[in-house]
């Protein structure tokens, strides 16, 4: 090292020390032969020359020793973005003169010939993450106006003299100071960089901000780009990466939306192994859709799809419990459809989240029980104006339900997930939520829909979860003796040869025409010889049916 070079380095170190900064000599920005990174000149000993020149510099920046890149870049954009993007500004183009990989690292203005680098290392190679390329569509947007409502700009513009009113590379990076790694302007742990601008609602209490869960070292690595060991430390980096995002939008680490969740929810980080639940017989098929869901989609007018983020807001989800019908913490911060069919944001009740997809019949869901009064709209089936409904929207209308198992009573309200859930939700430590079940359609317990099966606690386990089997089959009421025992029990109608399923007579959502959830299964029930298919409630546990069932004509049959 010659005397002149030594003096320049010493002065540079002293200057940086006075600013409270570290020297670049031991960082990757030292491209001289003494550099610490994988890219360095073959013989050049000057450290600062790759960016700065004491004379003959580029007037676009103080003592700048490079021409900025002339490239027109592909820019980032997303459906939820509420700011305008432009081509990178001057300060960012200075960085991109190396980091887009198109300009030689040694192409400086004060040398006639470029500074020599090893073959293949004269530019940042394409396989380096620091090569942003000419496609900035997978990188955090640059040159966006940071003043619109919704942006917190405090602290963004005091870190580097080249930082202007608009967000640029220097809003996050300081090329001369690598104190925090990756030349970041502040400590990035716990989302420190992101949260300087992004003010997410309820993030402070969000599980992804507070969880101390760690990775068990079973591949794949959920955090390949950081050195942090817990969910809370990685924070935003659990799902996002500011450079080189693999999704179409939102800088997600994986192109398939669900993979950004399942990389932790696979039993290797989070206590809830959702990945295994999605291998069951009946599931919410999140893997069947890609690049369809958006955070700003209109529930009243959207393509049929389901993604994890349709039911979970990763920026607001918590472990807080709730009582029906209120949303629990896991479903906090989502849009929904209320019981009147209007969009609500955020949803207040669990059923509002379900209704944004299930308000109308989804074509991909088969009809498990064909009804004589089919609505194909769950919102209408649960409506409070109906003669009967399961109490999801409101307390039920029947004041006499002796079969209910405590703590349920006639004043109870239930969740959709009391019936539609993981079939292991009731075991100790079971995961709650309609991710996957071995019983279709996503049922919490087994429920057989076909007739001719010998009645047991097992085949109608879903109904018997809330309704006492002994009261249903062997109770003292006329309904138990003359209806359920004869039609359902193994010693029932026609000498036990025909045994009706619960769903042959009852619709578990509700009935727009009948009390007691009566809505017959047309696979087994048809019109009577008189042409009527009807149930008439006579009150006091009595009624009459006009129908033909298993060849037996009721025209009518009075109970």
Is the per-residue pLDDT at 77 higher than 60?
yes
Is the per-residue pLDDT at 223 higher than 80?
yes
Q: Which of 1-5, 10-14, 26-30, 123-127 has the lowest mean pLDDT?
A: 10-14
β-strand 542-549 against 282-283: which pairing, if any? unpaired
- Split at pLDDT 50, 70, 90, the class of 550 is confident
Listed by start position, the domains of the chain span 1-148+163-183
Residue in the block written with tokens 């000057």:
46
pLDDT tens digits for 430-488? 899 999 999 999 999 999 999 999 889 999 999 999 999 999 988 777 777 678 888 88
- Tell me what pLDDT residue 510 has: 96
- Split at pLDDT 50, 70, 90, the class of 59 is low
- Tell me what pLDDT residue 498 has: 61
- Tell me what pLDDT residue 158 has: 42
How many CA atoms, within 13 angstroms, populate the side-chain half-sphere of residue 214? 5
- Tell me what pLDDT residue 161 has: 38
Alpha-carbon distances, residue 385 vs 103, 115, 406, 408 (angstroms)? 71, 81, 27, 22
What predicted TM-score, i.e. pTM, was given to this entire model? 0.87
**Section 235-251 average pLDDT:** 93
- Tell me what pLDDT residue 150 has: 44
* Per-residue tokens: 410: 């006639």
- Tell me what pLDDT residue 133 has: 95
- pLDDT, greater one: 82 or 217: 217
The span from the CA of 503 to the CA of 507, in Å, is: 6
- Tell me what pLDDT residue 490 has: 61
- Tell me what pLDDT residue 491 has: 57
Alpha-carbon distances, residue 485 vs 267, 458, 482, 523 (angstroms)? 45, 17, 6, 21
**Section 230-259 average pLDDT:** 94
Average pLDDT value over all residues in the chain: 88
- CA 68 to chain centroid, in Å, comes to 40
- Split at pLDDT 50, 70, 90, the class of 22 is low
Portion of the chain with pLDDT greater than 90, in percent = 68
**Section 230-244 average pLDDT:** 96
Backbone φ/ψ region at 315: left (φ over 0), alpha (ψ -120 to 50), beta = alpha
Q: How many CB atoms lie within 10 A of CB 296?
A: 10
144 φ/ψ angles, rounded to the nearest 5 degrees: -100, 145
Is the per-residue pLDDT at 45 higher than 80?
yes
- Tell me what pLDDT residue 541 has: 81
pLDDT tens digits for 190-199? 999 999 888 8
SS3 553: strand
**Section 69-87 average pLDDT:** 86
CB-based contacts of 544, cutoff 8 Å, min separation 6: 535, 536, 538, 554, 556, 557, 558, 559
β-strand 282-283 against 436-437: which pairing, if any? antiparallel
What is the torsional sign of CA 223, 226, 227, 230?
negative
- Tell me what pLDDT residue 82 has: 78
- Tell me what pLDDT residue 10 has: 43
- Tell me what pLDDT residue 365 has: 76
pLDDT tens digits for 370-427? 999 988 899 999 999 999 999 999 999 999 999 999 999 999 999 999 999 999 999 9
- Split at pLDDT 50, 70, 90, the class of 12 is very low
Contact 517, 507 (CB under 8 A): yes
**Section 207-221 average pLDDT:** 96
Q: Which of 201-210, 295-304, 337-346, 514-523 has the lowest mean pLDDT?
A: 295-304
**Section 327-354 average pLDDT:** 96
- Tell me what pLDDT residue 155 has: 40
The span from the CA of 445 to the CA of 439, in Å, is: 7
- Split at pLDDT 50, 70, 90, the class of 142 is confident
**Section 74-91 average pLDDT:** 85
């Amino acid at each position: 090292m010659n005397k002149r070079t030594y003096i320049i380095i010493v002065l540079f170190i002293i200057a940086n020390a006075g600013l409270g900064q570290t020297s670049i000599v031991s960082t990757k920005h030292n491209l001289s032969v003494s550099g610490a990174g994988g890219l360095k000149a073959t013989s050049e000993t000057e450290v600062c020359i790759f960016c700065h020149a004491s004379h003959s510099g580029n007037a676009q920046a103080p003592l700048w020793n490079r021409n900025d890149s002339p490239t027109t870049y592909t820019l980032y954009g997303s459906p939820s973005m509420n700011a305008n993007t432009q081509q990178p500004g001057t300060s960012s183009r200075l960085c991109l003169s190396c980091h887009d990989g198109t300009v030689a690292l040694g192409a400086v203005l004060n040398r006639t010939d470029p500074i020599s680098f090893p073959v293949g290392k004269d530019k940042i190679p394409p396989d380096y993450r620091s090569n942003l390329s000419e496609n900035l569509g997978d990188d955090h947007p640059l040159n966006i106006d940071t003043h619109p409502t919704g942006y917190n700009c405090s602290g963004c513009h005091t870190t580097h003299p080249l930082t202007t009113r608009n967000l640029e590379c220097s809003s996050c990076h300081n090329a001369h100071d690598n104190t925090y790694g990756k030349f970041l302007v502040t400590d990035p742990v716990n989302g420190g960089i992101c949260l300087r601008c992004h003010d997410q609602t309820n993030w402070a209490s969000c599980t992804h901000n507070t969880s101390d869960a760690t990775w068990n070292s079973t591949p794949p690595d959920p955090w390949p780009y950081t050195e942090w060991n817990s969910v809370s430390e990685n924070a935003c980096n659990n799902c996002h990466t500011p450079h080189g995002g693999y999704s179409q939008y939102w800088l997600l680490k994986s192109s398939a939306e669900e993979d950004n969740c399942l990389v932790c929810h696979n039993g290797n980080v989070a206590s809830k192994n959702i990945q295994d639940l999605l291998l069951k017989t009946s599931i919410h098929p999140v893997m069947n859709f890609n690049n369809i869901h958006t955070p700003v989609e209109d529930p009243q007018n959207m393509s049929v799809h389901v993604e994890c983020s349709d039911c979970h807001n990763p920026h607001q989800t918590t472990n807080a419990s709730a009582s029906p019908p209120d949303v629990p913490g896991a479903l906090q911060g989502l849009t929904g459809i209320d019981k009147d069919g209007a969009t609500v944001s955020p949803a207040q009740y669990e059923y509002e989240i379900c209704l944004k997809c299930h308000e109308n019949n989804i074509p991909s869901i088969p009809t498990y029980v064909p009804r004589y009064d089919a609505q194909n709209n769950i919102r209408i089936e649960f409506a409070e104006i109906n003669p009967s409904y399961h109490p999801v929207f409101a307390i039920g209308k029947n004041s006499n339900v002796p079969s209910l198992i405590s703590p349920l009573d006639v004043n109870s309200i239930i969740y959709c997930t009391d019936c539609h859930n993981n079939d292991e939700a009731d075991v100790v430590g079971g995961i709650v939520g309609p991710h996957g079940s071995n019983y279709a359609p996503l049922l919490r317990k087994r429920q057989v829909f076909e007739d001719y099966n010998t009645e047991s606690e097992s085949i109608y386990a879903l109904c018997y979860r809330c309704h006492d089997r002994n009261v249903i089959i062997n109770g003292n009421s006329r309904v138990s003796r003359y209806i359920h025992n004869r039609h359902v029990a193994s010693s029932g109608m026609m000498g036990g040869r025909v045994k009706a399923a619960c769903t042959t007579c009852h619709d578990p959502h509700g009935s727009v025409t009948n009390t007691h959830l009566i809505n017959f299964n047309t696979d087994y029930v048809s019109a009577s010889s008189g042409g009527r298919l009807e149930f008439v409630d006579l009150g006091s546990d009595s009624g009459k049916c006009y129908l033909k069932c298993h060849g037996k004509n009721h025209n009518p049959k009075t109970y």
